[in-house]
Amino acid sequence: MIVKKMMAGIYGANCYIVMDEESKEAVVLDPGGDVDDIEKVLQSLGAKVKYIALTHGHFDHTTGVDGLQAITKAEVAIGKEDNEMILKDVQYYGPFIEGGAHIILNNGDSLNFGKHTMKVIHTPGHTPGGVCFLIENMLFSGDTLFKGSIGRSDLAGGDGEALIRNIKERLVVLPKETIVYPGHGPSTTIGDEELYNPFL
């Protein structure tokens, strides 16, 4: 499996391309902008994008969705509550594709690409429909969990107590060697965050 990290959009959010090497089927996570740059990397990999999956609906993670979907024709997936926030045009959410997502994600759902399975873990708190994606020993945590920090909860739909509770109950229970790829900043591991993250 190939994982490519790019900083996309004006806020430099982490966008990830995860591709099955054999089939070339890929998932693009959180394309926050700079669609031309993302497209170049996809072309260099020979990737066939099956899904554009979003950890949450804030604009710094969604701005490139419409343009990338027009190019790839991939299905767009997001948590139910954040899809609704975007469609209601709540501040800081969207922009998005017309009519909303093709796939609504709920806790425990999974998406398959190539021979890999991407499991959905609903972690509301940063946003009400925020999710993390688990692929083998890799957790793509969006703005739920960062190296040494957690997501903010002061924007529309945020809930600080729920955020910490969901991190502890749904993420910290993963194997300590699980690699965490957050929506901003460097990667870390579940074990390191359990030991050193002051919010936990």
Range of the domain at 128: 2-196
Q: Where residue 123 sits, what CATH number does that domain have?
A: 3.60.15.10
Looking at residue 97, its pLDDT comes to 76
Looking at residue 78, its pLDDT comes to 98
Looking at residue 99, its pLDDT comes to 79
Looking at residue 70, its pLDDT comes to 95
pLDDT averaged per 10 residues in sequence order, the chain, 200 residues:
94 96 98 96 98 97 96 97 95 85 97 98 98 98 98 95 97 98 98 96
Q: How many domains does the chain have?
A: 1
pTM: 0.96
Tokens of 104: 């609504």
Q: Is the peptide bond before 175 cis (omega within 30 degrees of 0)?
A: no
